[in-house]
Structure 1
Amino acid sequence: MKSTWRVRADERFWWVVVGLGNALVSVIDVDPWRRGKGHDILIGGLLYAHVDTVNAELMRGA
């Protein structure tokens, strides 16, 4: 299980992903409108669709 937070630090915005046990998973530089800037940010495709399906099932408690 992971949680993602938008954080402002040093006059910049970041997505901070925290995993179980408060382990820091990743920090991604983003603009103020929450759009990832890295070329590794997925916003479509098969992997994105799979993760979206799994997340939807988790939210339903499946």
Structure 2
Amino acid sequence: MKKGAAASKLDTMHTIVLPATDEVLAPMIVSLPIQLLTDQTAVFMSTDVEKMSNLAKPVTVE
């Protein structure tokens, strides 16, 4: 049985390989590379990653 990009039949340029882990720990293991990928994508696109947006006023006012 094929796994990952081979199973999806997509022509991918890069793959993120994550270790096999317990089902309970998987969300924590997967979230870090995804956050790093989105951060680097935002930096590449010259987006201010520190800017808060779409927050309700009560959340931002002390």
Output the TM-score relative to the length of structure 2.
0.30
Higher relative contact order (CA 8 A, sep 6+): 1
Q: Which has the higher strand share?
A: 1
Normalised by the length of structure 1, the TM-score is: 0.30
Whichever of the two has the greater Rg, that structure is 2
